[in-house]
Amino acid sequence: MTEQDTVVVLAGGLSHERDISLRSGRRVAQALRDQGLDVVESDVNSGLVELLRSLDNPVAFPTLHGGVGEDGGLQQALALLRVPYVGSSPTACRRAFNKAICGPLVAAGGLPVPQSAVLPHDMFRELGARQLVEALAERIGFPMMVKPVRSGSALGAAKVEAPGGIPGAMVSAYSYGDVNIIEEFIAGIEVAVTVLDLGDGPKALPAVQIEPNSGVYDYTARYTAGATRFITPADIPAEQAQACAEMAIRAHQILGLGDISRSDIIIRDGQPVFIEANTAPGMTETSLAPLAVQAAGLDFGDICAQLVRIAKARL
Amino acid sequence: MVSEIERRQDTRLDQYVDFYAQRTQGLTVSAVRALFSVANRPEVVSLAGGMPNIKDLPLGKLGDEISQLICERGMQVFQYGSGQGEQFMRDHITEVMAEEGIHSHSDDVVVSCGSQQGLDLVTRVFCDPGDVVLCEAPSYVGALGTFLAYQVEVVHVEMDDYGISPTALRQAITSLRAAGKRVKFLYTIPNFQNPTGITQPVSRRQELLALAKEEDLLIVEDNPYGLLALDTEPQPALRALDADRVIYLGSFSKIFAPGLRVGWVLAPPAVREKLVMTQEAATLCPPVSAQFIVSHYMENFDWRSQIKVFHEMYRARRDAMLAGLEEHMPPGCSWTNPGGGFFVWLTLPPGLDSQAMLARAVSARVAYVPGTAFYADGFGSRNMRLSFCFPPPDRIIEGTRRLGEVLKAELAMRATFGIEDLPPRPGLVPGPAPDIL
């Protein structure tokens, strides 16, 4: 970084996770300012290109969750504009964000994932919902998870216990997008593993164990302080912790992710199962990646600043 | 070296989590409320927010005169004041109430930080945990939040086209008292009710007052929209028809400036005394500077003509919304036809869930408030509140067009899955929020 460099922390956007993104952005911006960096905060809107062009040496730090911030759209635009940015390439974002693509890719790389089916809403209309619902009940079984393939923060996700719950859960999830994934429900210990690559290869930070008071790690449990118990490093046997770390690094590599990612994993009967990857992990006061950074004995602001330097060096 | 186990952190990220009062249990982050964050972007037509549209206020002149006011009387403007509110402010408040037929004395007025705080004071003075407050079904989200904060049990009473139903009200009182419950008051918004837009005709008001007398029931009348009658003269307030049984809440937020947070309570003397002491305990005094500004405005500007200007603006918006709904809503929808205020209440065909489909609406760049926000008991999923006060008429029509598309897509989805109707279920945790008031 030079004195003229400006970090543009991008937050907001038009996705359903805008509110969380704004919180992540504010925290990252403050952490970078505390490191002495020159920081401006910006939404992703029609004024962004002009802003980036007005700065001598901008480096973007996207903290957008969902939508163009995670599906590669924003990263592609920044690449076109020749603005270095923190995070994964557009292609890697596309692979990781869409659950319909991410799961099979990671499974093909040898990692266990839940059994699943991906269905656009058109299929139900064209083939008849009743038959497909019956087939889902038979093939996936109960309980099952219904999720939009392109969404985060558990928005639109629902656990379904019986056939009668499928239609309502499907309709709610389709409110967030045209395609849903229906997964086998994995019962077990929920952990999140953040992977950092500071230029010397991806390394896993200590796993964060998640125990929501309500039993469900939904949007409220994620973002209400006090609603979830976080244990870091996770209170699991060392070999399980090691297996989770290896799984997160492997997923990071299979998907071609860069800089920072977070993998959500459930340990079932001692064996980790990969659930999903996040290319723009939450950075709020209740988010998992900052907890992992702290547990690793690292400084959050220093890590953010290092990621900016690495991004700058990639140009 | 410290081992991983020794430095293991076990945290809920809130060191006070075991210390909070029981009444904070519902104060959690909500995915539905978070969606309103997107509604603030200019790409989205927000039919959600109930923010008064103050674009027509003479802001330049006001700015100059307020500046002069501070220069000339700053020692008073910026000083503490009376817990009851300044005498000059209370005098002006009686003038405003006279517009709706209320004859009052300034001694009986308590100035509050918006009528929202007035309601808070009234609830604090009257309600213990477990007491019952009767409300219209549906009712103002901010009031429900206040009642729940005091651990009051909210019982909704059915409405018809003329407001709260006296028959249903009597039944509710009878059954609640038979069950040993203490019914403290009826909370009602008689004019252009938030969220339905429904207005009680005079005959209904008289019925309610007669019933209140028979049942020895106190009425808390919340009247923020009374002077925003777009088609007729204002109706006489309940308080104008009965001075003893009604506590009246008023506000400058809709006829002048919501940011000043000046409202008031008009109450019988015994109640007023308690309200003043409660106000002093809560805030010492309502904001003095805001009372100076409001009073200056009333003395030096033609505030009555300004309200007529507001009428023109809101009428064009109301008409645009009704025309847009007529053109774009799919069959099976119905909606209220408000004669004033800010809101239209839309009822959806069976099977649609306004809360579940909000994400789809936000993706389509239109926002509304799901009906569940206005019920404390899980109803309202087939309703939504549409606000016409803020966007310009062409944007309102565009918003109804987008909403129509969302409803059609949602109907198709429901048909695909054979969902015909939905049971009531817990809705939003009610509470005041600037983007949904």
pLDDT band for position B437 (cuts 50, 70, 90): low
A294 with B9: Cβ contact below 8 A: yes
Q: Select from 3.30.1490.20, 1.10.490.10, 1.10.3720.10, 3.40.50.2300 the CATH code of A116-184.
A: 3.30.1490.20
Among B413, B414, B419, which would you mutate to test the A interface (most chain A Cβ atoms within 10 Å of its Cβ)? B413
B7 with A295: Cβ contact below 8 A: yes
Query: B268: helix, coil or strand?
Result: coil
Q: State the burial class of residue B87 (Cβ atoms within 10 Å of its Cβ: 0-12, 13-18, 19+).
A: middle
According to the per-residue pLDDT averaged within each range, which of A165-169, B292-296, B428-432 is highest? B292-296
In chain A, which residue's Cα lies nearest the Cα of B411?
A171
Which residue in B8, B11, B363 is closest to A233 by CB distance? B8
Which residue in B7, B31, B360 is closest to A155 by CB distance? B31
Distance to chain B for A286, nearest Cα, Å? 7
Of A257, A112, A86, A117, which is closest to residue A180 (Cα–Cα)?
A: A117
- Chain A positions touching B11 (Cβ under 8 A) are 229-230, 232, 291
Among A15, A17, A18, A178, which would you mutate to test the B interface (most chain B Cβ atoms within 10 Å of its Cβ)? A18
* DSSP assignment letter at B372: G
Q: In what order do the strands lie in the sheet with A39-42?
A: A39-42, A5-10, A57-62
- Dump pLDDT digits (tens) for A29-42: 999 999 999 999 99
Residue pointed to by tokens 């929501």: A212
- Chain B positions touching A295 (Cβ under 8 A) are 7, 9
- Dump pLDDT digits (tens) for B135-174: 999 999 999 999 999 999 999 999 999 999 999 999 999 9
* Residues whose CB is less than 8 angstroms from the CB of residue A127 and which lie 6 or more positions away in sequence, other chains included: none
Among B1, B3, B7, B9, which would you mutate to test the A interface (most chain A Cβ atoms within 10 Å of its Cβ)? B9
pLDDT score of B432 more than 50? no
* DSSP assignment letter at B250: E
First-last CA distance in chain A: 12
- Dump pLDDT digits (tens) for A238-258: 999 999 999 999 999 999 999
Q: Which chain B residues in 227-246 lie under 8 Å from chain A, judged by CB atoms?
A: none
Q: State the burial class of residue B315 (Cβ atoms within 10 Å of its Cβ: 0-12, 13-18, 19+).
A: middle
Among B416, B421, B435, which would you mutate to test the A interface (most chain A Cβ atoms within 10 Å of its Cβ)? B416
Average pLDDT of chain B, as a whole number: 93
**What pLDDT does residue B36 have?**
84
- Chain A positions touching B412 (Cβ under 8 A) are 125
Question: What distance in Å separates the CA atoms of residue A19 and residue B292, rounded to the nearest whole number?
Answer: 37
Count CA atoms closer than 13 A to B54's CA, side-chain side: 18
- Chain A positions touching B44 (Cβ under 8 A) are 14
Contact A183, A158 (CB under 8 A): no
**What pLDDT does residue A140 have?**
96
B422 with A20: Cβ contact below 8 A: no
- Dump pLDDT digits (tens) for B179-195: 999 999 999 999 999 99
- Dump pLDDT digits (tens) for B236-285: 999 999 999 999 999 999 999 999 999 999 999 999 999 999 999 999 99
Which residue in B10, B14, B29 is closest to A231 by CB distance? B10
- Chain B positions touching A168 (Cβ under 8 A) are 356, 417, 419, 422
- Dump pLDDT digits (tens) for B355-373: 999 999 999 999 999 999 9
Of B101, B102, B122, B100, which is closest to residue B110 (Cα–Cα)?
A: B122
pLDDT band for position A4 (cuts 50, 70, 90): low
Of B373, B375, B294, which is closest to residue B114 (Cα–Cα)?
A: B294
Phi, psi of B251 (to 5 degrees): -155, 145
The answer to whether B422 contacts chain A (CB < 8 Å) is yes
Question: What distance in Å separates the CA atoms of residue B147 and residue B430, rounded to the nearest whole number?
Answer: 10
Question: What distance in Å separates the CA atoms of residue A120 and residue A129, rounded to the nearest whole number?
Answer: 12
**What pLDDT does residue B377 have?**
84
Query: B115: helix, coil or strand?
Result: helix
A175 with B358: Cβ contact below 8 A: yes
Of B293, B254, B302, which is closest to residue B86 (Cα–Cα)?
A: B293
Q: Identify residue B340 by its one-letter amino acid code.
A: G
A45 with B41: Cβ contact below 8 A: yes
Superfamily per CATH, domain B19-55+306-417: Aspartate Aminotransferase, domain 1 (3.90.1150.10)
CATH node for A187-297: 3.30.470.20
Distance to chain B for A102, nearest Cα, Å? 23
The answer to whether B281 contacts chain A (CB < 8 Å) is no
- Chain B positions touching A233 (Cβ under 8 A) are 4-5, 8
Of A1, A124, A71, which is closest to residue A277 (Cα–Cα)?
A: A71
A176 with B363: Cβ contact below 8 A: yes
> Which residues of A are marked as active site?
17, 153, 223, 262, 264, 276, 278, 282
Question: What distance in Å separates the CA atoms of residue B65 and residue B344, rounded to the nearest whole number?
Answer: 37
Contact B320, B344 (CB under 8 A): no
- Chain B positions touching A150 (Cβ under 8 A) are none
* Residues whose CB is less than 8 angstroms from the CB of residue B252 and which lie 6 or more positions away in sequence, other chains included: B96, B258, B260, B262, B263, B294
Averaged pLDDT for residues A178-191: 96
Q: What Rg, from alpha-carbon coordinates, does chain B have?
A: 23
State the pairing for strand pair B109-113/A271-278: unpaired
- Chain A positions touching B435 (Cβ under 8 A) are none
Distance to chain B for A53, nearest Cα, Å? 23
pLDDT score of B5 more than 80? no
> Crossing angle, helix B31-39 and helix A18-34, to 10 degrees?
80
Q: Angle at CA B132, nearest 5°, toward B126 and B137?
A: 120
**What pLDDT does residue B89 have?**
98
Count CA atoms closer than 13 A to B379's CA, side-chain side: 12
B417 with A20: Cβ contact below 8 A: no
No. of helices (H) and no. of strands (E), chain B: 13, 15
Question: What distance in Å separates the CA atoms of residue B178 and residue B423, rounded to the nearest whole number?
Answer: 28
- Across B81-182, the runs of DSSP E, i.e. the strands, are 109-113, 132-137, 153-160, 163-164
Question: What distance in Å separates the CA atoms of residue A31 and residue B289, rounded to the nearest whole number?
Answer: 38
Query: B366: helix, coil or strand?
Result: strand
Instruction: Indicate if A187-297 has the same CATH topology as A116-184.
Output: no
Which residue in B29, B38, B418 is closest to A18 by CB distance? B38
Q: Angle at CA B123, nearest 5°, toward B117 and B124?
A: 90
Contact B222, B189 (CB under 8 A): yes
Which residue in B8, B16, B418 is closest to A232 by CB distance? B8
**What pLDDT does residue B434 have?**
44
- Across B138-277, the runs of DSSP E, i.e. the strands, are 153-160, 163-164, 183-188, 219-222, 246-251, 262-266
Write out chain A in H/E/C secondary structure. CCCCEEEEEECCCCCCCHHHHHHHHHHHHHHHHHCCCCEEEECCCCCHHHHHHHCCEEEEEECCCCHHHCCCHHHHHHHHCCCCECCCCHHHHHHHHCHHHHHHHHHHCCCCCCCEEEEEHHHHHHHCHHHHHHHHHHHCCCCEEEEECCCCCCCCCEEECCHHHHHHHHHHHHCCCCEEEEEECCCCEEEEEEEEECCCCEEECCCEEEEECCCCCCHHHHHCCCCEEEEECCCCCHHHHHHHHHHHHHHHHHHCCCCEEEEEEEEECCEEEEEEEECCCCCCCCCHHHHHHHHCCCCHHHHHHHHHHHHHHHC
Question: What distance in Å separates the CA atoms of residue B51 and residue B178, rounded to the nearest whole number?
Answer: 41
**What pLDDT does residue B197 have?**
98
- Dump pLDDT digits (tens) for A258-309: 999 999 999 999 999 999 999 999 999 889 999 999 999 999 999 999 999 9
The answer to whether B9 contacts chain A (CB < 8 Å) is yes
Give the CATH class of B81-300: alpha beta
- Dump pLDDT digits (tens) for A116-155: 999 999 999 899 899 999 999 999 999 999 999 998 888 8
pTM (2 decimals)? 0.92
Question: What distance in Å separates the CA atoms of residue A85 and residue A10, rounded to the nearest whole number?
Answer: 10
Cα dihedral sign for A77, A80, A83, A86?
Answer: positive
**What pLDDT does residue B212 have?**
98
A167 with B419: Cβ contact below 8 A: yes
Q: Which chain B residues in 356-395 lie under 8 Å from chain A, judged by CB atoms?
A: 356-360, 362-363
**What pLDDT does residue B423 have?**
62
Which residue in A220, A233, A294 is closest to B4 by CB distance? A233
Q: What is the DSSP string of B281-325?
A: HHHSSS-HHHHHHHHHHHHHS-HHHHHHHHHHHHHHHHHHHHHHH
Residue pointed to by tokens 């993706």: B363
In chain A, which residue's Cα lies nearest the Cα of B18?
A226
Question: What distance in Å separates the CA atoms of residue B45 and residue B405, rounded to the nearest whole number?
Answer: 14
Averaged pLDDT for residues B397-403: 98
Cis peptide before B287 (omega within 30 of 0): no
Domain range annotation of chain B = 19-55+306-417, 81-300
A225 with B363: Cβ contact below 8 A: no
Alpha-carbon distance values, A270 to A188, A274, A313, B248, B284 (Å): 9, 13, 41, 64, 60
Q: What is the DSSP string of B16-29?
A: TTTTS-GGGTT---
Please name the helix (run of DSSP H) or strand (run of DSSP E) that holds residue B414, with its range, or none.
helix B393-417
